[in-house]
């Protein structure tokens, strides 16, 4: 199918262009690997201590893409997993990324981190941490992430903030199902949790309804897969820029090879691979993955929000 034919087909997203008409890459994501020290009950990647379906990456793996990303004006680089701090190269990976753009690490913050080593990275870019903390109450958080992990995350989040890094607490809305708290009230509860430590955190409540991974085991009803159509894309308020695949790309190492995917919620599925270089990946994306509807369209989610 030609590009012109794709543009006429309903549900396609074209890649972002800058004022000069060239491809503009805002967000570049790297899966550090699918392995995690936890096995959370809502993980869409099904990460666990034994899940190695997405290989651990190295600095040699990401350098070609980092170099190419500079040509397309990349603004922000993200490391996700799995748990990035299980990757033995995480410090050199972050250092390489920060030579190019502001960088964020997605982490459960339960493992030891060498914050001094991160502070020694010489760069004009910023480093922030997006820390998964599903509830401001210890018991509710540990229901999802197992006993003892609330305290580990709380202590490490405080240390990270006091070390001078931005901390963004991300909580999944599913933990609050059946409760009357509004989003701003939940955010206030998290601020109250951290304020005795003299720490101010940002809070993001994710519109989490990904019917994937271990989350399938806890939900009562799985919605039918919905293909986004031309009609959906023409609804008021729905724009191409609201979809991560319009301005970002994700890299995963699958069976020893680096593969490019449209976004970080689509993983380890050959039909969504977009080549091995950013330039090759800038073709249109057909919004036919179930998460395109569940997360991006139905709930207005965006990986960088």
pLDDT of 296: 84
Does residue 297 belong to any structural domain of this protein?
no
Residue 232 has pLDDT above 80, yes or no: no
pLDDT of 61: 98
Residue 1 has pLDDT above 60, yes or no: no
User: Can you give the pTM of this predicted structure?
Assistant: 0.92
Does residue 13 belong to any structural domain of this protein?
no
**Average pLDDT of 191-218?**
86
Does residue 12 belong to any structural domain of this protein?
no
pLDDT of 155: 98
Nearest by Cα to 226 from 272, 294, 177: 294
Does residue 242 belong to any structural domain of this protein?
no
Contact 15, 246 (CB under 8 A): yes
**Average pLDDT of 99-125?**
96
For 34, which DSSP code? S
If one counts the domains in the chain, the total is 1
pLDDT of 227: 73
The CATH code of the domain that includes 106 is: 3.20.20.70
Does residue 137 belong to any structural domain of this protein?
yes
- Which own/partner pairs from 153-157 qualify as long-range (CB within 8 Å, at least 24 positions apart)? 153/108, 153/109, 153/110, 154/193, 156/109, 156/110, 156/111, 156/113, 156/131, 157/109, 157/129, 157/131, 157/133, 157/194, 157/199, 157/201
Strands 248-254 and 257-261: antiparallel
pLDDT of 5: 44
% of the chain exceeding 90 in pLDDT: 65
Does residue 286 belong to any structural domain of this protein?
no
Crossing angle (nearest 10°) for helices 59-71 and 90-98? 10
% of the chain exceeding 70 in pLDDT: 92
Residue 157 domain boundaries: 21-224+247-278
The total of other beta-carbon atoms located within 10 Å of residue 230's CB is 11
Most confident of 134-143, 154-163, 242-251, 291-300: 154-163
Tens of pLDDT, residue by residue over 82-91, are 999 999 999 9
Residue 287 has pLDDT above 80, yes or no: yes
Contact 41, 214 (CB under 8 A): yes
Does residue 111 belong to any structural domain of this protein?
yes
Residue 299 has pLDDT above 90, yes or no: no
Residue 233 has pLDDT above 70, yes or no: no
Does residue 105 belong to any structural domain of this protein?
yes
């Amino acid at each position: 199918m030609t590009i012109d034919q794709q543009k006429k087909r309903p549900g396609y997203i074209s890649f972002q262009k800058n004022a000069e008409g060239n491809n503009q890459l805002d967000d570049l994501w790297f899966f550090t690997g699918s392995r995690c020290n936890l096995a959370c009950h809502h993980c869409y990647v099904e990460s666990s201590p034994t899940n190695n379906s997405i290989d651990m990456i190295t600095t040699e793996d990401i350098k070609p893409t980092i170099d190419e990303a500079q040509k397309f004006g990349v603004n922000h680089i993200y490391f996700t997993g799995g748990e990035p701090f299980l990757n033995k190269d995480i410090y050199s990976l972050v250092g390489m990324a920060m030579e190019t753009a502001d960088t964020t690490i997605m982490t459960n913050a339960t493992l030891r981190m060498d914050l001094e080593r991160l502070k020694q990275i010489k760069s004009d870019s910023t480093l922030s941490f997006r820390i998964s903390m599903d509830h401001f109450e210890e018991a509710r958080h540990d229901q999802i992430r197992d006993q003892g992990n609330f305290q580990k995350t709380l202590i490490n989040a405080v240390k990270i903030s006091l070390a001078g890094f931005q901390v963004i607490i991300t909580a999944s809305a599913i933990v609050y199902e059946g409760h009357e708290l509004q989003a701003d009230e939940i955010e206030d509860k998290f601020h109250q949790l951290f304020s005795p430590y003299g720490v101010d955190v940002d809070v993001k409540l994710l519109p989490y309804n990904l019917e994937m991974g271990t989350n399938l085991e806890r939900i009562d009803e799985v919605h039918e897969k919905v293909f986004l159509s031309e009609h959906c894309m023409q609804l008021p308020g729905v724009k191409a820029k609201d979809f991560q695949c319009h301005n970002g790309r994700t890299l995963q190492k699958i069976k020893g090879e680096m593969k490019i995917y449209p976004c970080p919620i689509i993983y380890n599925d050959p039909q969504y691979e977009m080549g091995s270089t950013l330039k090759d990946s800038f073709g249109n994306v057909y919004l036919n993955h179930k998460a395109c509807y569940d997360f991006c369209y139905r709930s207005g989610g965006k990986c960088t929000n």
